[in-house]
Amino acid sequence: MNKEFKELYEADIARYGGKSDFILRLFLRLFRREQTAKNAFSRRWYHFFFTALRYMLHIEMWAPTKIGKGLYVGHPFCIGVNPRATIGENCNIHKSASVGQENRGKRKGYPTIGNYVWLGMGSTIVGNVTIGDDVLIAPNTYVNCSVPSHSVVFGNPCIIKRKYNATGHYINNPVPMSDPEKEKDIWCGEEEFLRRLAAEESAG
């Protein structure tokens, strides 16, 4: 078996704690299969079936999109992710969420989303912006600016509130990250977070 596929797919399924249904497992399997296919014939084969399922679920998500392991798709329907966007590990994407490009102006481009990010139902992220690690984007929130790590974001225009463990009880059953040092840095502890936040604020 393709080792890359096995690692990604098993990590995705582990996020559901054994409660994923058949359609969801099939969606994730076909997505990761096309993403990791080693030859053109296999890629076209998986692409055909994955495209059919995408149309059925009204999900605009393409295999070339860089999405880290531990992907959780909640209520998979009417989700749009630009193929040039980047999404990190242990992220949740919920119904009607959109990750899209901006075609003009200073934010022209595509979002880069970090690890442990929760995208609520109906939330939208657009443009060349960076979303940090441990960020909760509330339902129906419009984000067209960069968001620092450890933040809760809500509203339109969006309001950003810094909070350590912002995704606590939202990112369930996370899998170990590919980079243990990065994970250790994300979960540095609230005291260290407050020290870093004070340093940021004093620096202006």
Q: SS3 string of 5-32?
A: HHHHHHHHHHCCCCCCCHHHHHHHHHHH
- Maximum Cα–Cα distance for the chain, whole Å? 56
Residue 1, pLDDT score? 65
Handedness of CA 77, 170, 120, 175 (dihedral sign): negative
Residue 21, pLDDT score? 86
Q: Which stretches of 37-186 are DSSP H helices?
A: 40-57, 180-186
Q: How many Cβ atoms from other residues are within 10 Å of residue 148's Cβ?
A: 17
DSSP 120-156: -TT-EEESS-EE-SSEEE-TT-EE-S-B-SSEEEETT
Question: pTM score, two decimals?
Answer: 0.94
Q: Which stretches of the chain are DSSP H helices?
A: 3-14, 22-36, 40-57, 180-186, 190-203
Residues of the chain with pLDDT under 50: none
Residue 163, pLDDT score? 97
Residues shown for the chain? 204
Residue 19, pLDDT score? 82
Q: What domains does the chain contain, in order, with CATH numbers?
A: 62-203 (2.160.10.10)
> Over the stretch 76-130, which tens digit does the pLDDT of each residue have?
889 999 999 999 999 999 999 999 999 998 999 999 999 999 999 999 999 999 9
Both structure tokens of 190: 């609230």
Residue 166, pLDDT score? 97
Residue 168, pLDDT score? 93
Both structure tokens of 155: 């509203």
Alpha-carbon distances of 79 from 73, 94, 159, 170, 197, rounded to whole Å: 9, 7, 23, 19, 33
Report the alpha-carbon distance of residue 109 to residue 96 in Å, rounded.
21
